[in-house]
Amino acid sequence: MTLSIMKSLQSRIFILFIFLLLCVQLMSFYSTYQANNKSEVAQLNNKLLTAKQVFEAQFISRSYYLSAYAKTVARDHALKSLIEDDVKSLLSALDNHRKRIDANFAIAINTSGKIVGELVTFKNNNNENKPKVGIEQGKQFKHLDWLETETSEQLYPLSNNLYQLSLAPLKSGTRIIGWIGFGYVLNEDLANELAKITNVNVSFLLKNKINHNLSLLASSQSIDVFSNTLLSEILSNKNESYIASQFYLGTVDSDELIALVFKSKVDILKSVKADWGQFVLLFLLTLLFSLISAYVISASITRPVKSLITQVKSIAQGNYDKTVSIENSHELMQLANEFNHMKTSVVTREKMISHRAYHDPLTDLPNRNSLIKTLKYKQERATPFVVFQVNIRRIKEVNDTLGHKIGDKVIIEVANRLKLSQLQCELFHLGADEFILLSEDLSIENSLSVLSQNLEPLFEINNLSLHLQYAIGTALFPDHIDTDATDLLKKSDVAMQYAKKNKKLHQLYDRQFDFNTVERLHLINSLKTAIEQDQLVLFYQPKMSLNTMKISHVEALVRWKHPINGLIPPDAFISIAEQTGQMDSLTRWVTKEAITQYLIWQKKNINIKIAINISAENLKDKSYSDFVIALKNDNNIADHEITLEVTEDAVLSDPAQATEVLTYLKSHGFKLSIDDYGTGYSSLAQLKQLPVQELKIDKSFVQQLMQNKDDQIIVRSTIELAHNMGLSVVAEGIEDERTLLWLKEHNCELAQGYFISRPIEAHLFETWLKECPYALEKEGKWLSL
């Protein structure tokens, strides 16, 4: 019976199919088993690789973020002024900056290496981070070698904590005046955060360089769960129950900081084991019910899957222009469509990331990264070009006075005007108030003319009319290059700073400027000696009364007769005095010398009133006021014989304090004058609150008065409004007779400028006064005007 069945064709076919099915299933089982094993290994490796990449990206991102933020804060002019100021103000400023990035640590170091400000955070009862003064406050910074580089990213141990720290220098010009730093603590919170992102365990270990002993700094798991012995086994890959990877983060004293990412293989492969059991069950069911149809169906599915894999691999290699397409399989067609959508999203995201990396978010103009690439490209081409660095002045005052929204609108409007200019150039925005233009048109004057036409008109924003001043520095390629084209940024910035300092619209870079930087260091070291050893001298510039056309006043202007460098103008050392804290002593010297000269002239019957410049430093308290009042009273000087001139910026830096001190001076018979009016953002309405009697129009509005109708409108309206508020007006910068007569016609009280006389020494002034057409001798006395 059995033999007859075996001889049956139907039985043979059936047995053959069973045999084939068994062979196929066994082969399938074996292949799946091997694939599952490979899948286990791949999952383990991929899990670890992904975790390590994510961890490194997060850690590097934190470091970059700290570094970028420290550099940004280092440009804060307010913070620079506090580095040598009282500790309370400095710590408050540090805490404000720390809060913005939720840093756990902030530090400020002066040029002598002393820690003048240190803040660390601690957890209060509500588990909130609160700042407190660090234990090293006022002590010497232990790692002075860290301060020798432009930026420093270090691991900083403090009070059983370890901080990821980034330091950046505070600069005044090119001079370093201190360092500022921010840091994040490496603790369990960070380990837990990274563990949550990577889905593996994260531990920070300190490994002794000598004996290789390990100590656990922080971990995402409880210290009780993972002993040092177990961590050591995991670290050395001796424990096969875990997969792990380690990488070096830095050195802390005699230890190495190591990050260890690891996870139990059992946890990772739970899903794989569960899938394996389901597969065995599926295999048995398939063996019973699939027969020949299983093979046919599997073959029909395998073909489109392989096609899908081939196409996906091509896209993975960067061929984004290809589209995945599958036919004869509805499910795989849906998968292909979803993959195409994913590919489109990836391409869009990559384009967005690339755009953000090379464009400024506010103006959408190319940023510094794009500028560096362009400069290198132009250097390779070796085609001559010009770098224009445009600085929009007083943007900080606009932000402080009108708000950052208005400030942003001003920046956007400047960018739009530069875009619409007729210049054939490439435009970049480096942030805040700085723009860069690259032009292959070497006719600088023509380019400056176009820029002026675009930037001069008033800015109409939110019903406000703003007249912005700007300064432009230029550098040429290849004339001003040292090593590579990026040098031109520094050169154009030096030129721009020179233009700002000297109140010029434009300045072409001159290599002499670098020499002047060295000279400035010499002046810093010599200024105190100059004050103490009477190397300073006063020059006097006459002021003419436009009512009588006679000389009635002089302004005392300080000069430095350097024993080596000769006569040095005030622009070269006044800023040094302000930055080095010598402004008060300098002003006191000028005041005493000017009053002494006034008394000498009085004895000679030369009745000339004297104006003396005072600084913002002299308005901070009443010590200078008491000094000058004592001089006046001791010498019995009549009221209003001495005029004290204070700049608009000095008054507006602290209006309440300035008002108090100026009122005190006025009550003791001094005439008060606002100098350089028009260079700031104050209005006459603001100045109305000050106890001043005189307003001095800045020379920038007067020097081109007869050629510039806008300047005429500004000067005329300022004179009228000042008179309406009971203020007399002085105009400085008069360089021709037409300007003098125009000011007389419009009722300006006093005039000053090179047309009348340059500043001259006292004995030369006396000679000049005898010979000039603006004074008369009557009955042995100079005419008192």
pLDDT tens-place string over residues 187-216: 888 888 878 877 788 888 888 878 777 777
Could you report the per-residue pLDDT of 161-193, keeping only the tens digit for each?
888 888 989 888 888 888 899 998 888 888 888
Provide the pLDDT for residue 271: 57
- Torsion angles phi and psi, residue 622, rounded to 5: -95, 10
100 band by pLDDT with thresholds 50, 70 and 90: confident
736 band by pLDDT with thresholds 50, 70 and 90: very high
78: left (phi over 0), alpha (psi -120 to 50) or beta: alpha
Tell me whether residue 109 is exposed, middle or buried, using C-beta atoms within 10 angstroms of its C-beta: 0 to 12, 13 to 18, 19 or more.
Answer: buried
- Torsion angles phi and psi, residue 642, rounded to 5: -110, 125
pLDDT at 577 exceeding the cut of 80: no
Provide the pLDDT for residue 515: 46
Strands (E), 69-200: 105-110, 115-123, 129-133, 152-158, 161-172, 175-185
DSSP result, 261-322: EEEEHHHHTHHHHHHHHHHHHHHHHHHHHTHHHHHHHHHHHHHHHHHHHHHHHHHHTT-TT-
> How many residues in total does the chain contain?
785
The Cα 245–Cα 13 span in angstroms is 56
Percent of the chain with pLDDT strictly greater than 70: 80
The Cα 613–Cα 642 span in angstroms is 11
Q: Which residue, among 240, 242, 237, has the nearest Cα to 264 in the 3D structure?
A: 242
| Peptide bond just before 478 cis, omega within 30 deg | yes
Average pLDDT, the chain: 80
Lowest mean pLDDT among 151-160, 237-246, 727-736: 237-246
- Torsion angles phi and psi, residue 200, rounded to 5: -135, 170
Could you report the per-residue pLDDT of 678-714, keeping only the tens digit for each?
766 555 556 778 899 999 999 989 999 999 898 999 9
Crossing angle of helices 9-74 and 291-316, in 10° steps, is: 20
β-partners of residue 264 are: 242
38 band by pLDDT with thresholds 50, 70 and 90: low
The Cα 608–Cα 750 span in angstroms is 14
Give me the mean pLDDT over the 425-432 stretch. 87
The Cα 366–Cα 429 span in angstroms is 6
Q: Which residue, among 66, 67, 119, has the nearest Cα to 96 in the 3D structure?
A: 119
Provide the pLDDT for residue 783: 36
Beta-carbon contacts of residue 782 (< 8 Å; ≥ 6 apart): 605, 606, 607, 608, 769, 775, 776
Could you report the per-residue pLDDT of 475-486, keeping only the tens digit for each?
988 887 777 777
Give me the mean pLDDT over the 612-640 stretch. 91
Give me the mean pLDDT over the 417-436 stretch. 85
668 band by pLDDT with thresholds 50, 70 and 90: very high
All domains in the chain, ordered by first residue: 75-185 (3.30.450.20), 368-510 (3.30.70.270), 517-778 (3.20.20.450)
Cβ burial 749-774 (10 Å sphere, 16+ → b, else e):
bbbbbebbbebbebeebbebbeeeeb
pLDDT at 737 exceeding the cut of 90: yes
Strands (E), 173-241: 175-185, 201-208, 214-219
The Cα 680–Cα 108 span in angstroms is 31
Q: Which of 267-281, 296-310, 393-407 has the highest mean pLDDT?
A: 393-407
Lowest mean pLDDT among 318-322, 348-352, 417-421, 728-732: 318-322
Specify the higher pLDDT residue, 14 or 160.
160
Question: pTM of the prediction?
Answer: 0.43
Give me the mean pLDDT over the 99-116 stretch. 89
| Continuous segment of H or E residues that includes residue 439 | strand 434-439
Specify the higher pLDDT residue, 741 or 128.
741
Give me the mean pLDDT over the 132-139 stretch. 89
Under DSSP, is residue 71 helix (H, G, I), strand (E, B) or coil? Answer: helix
The Cα 203–Cα 754 span in angstroms is 74
Q: Which residue, among 184, 180, 162, 163, has the nearest Cα to 171 in the 3D structure?
A: 180
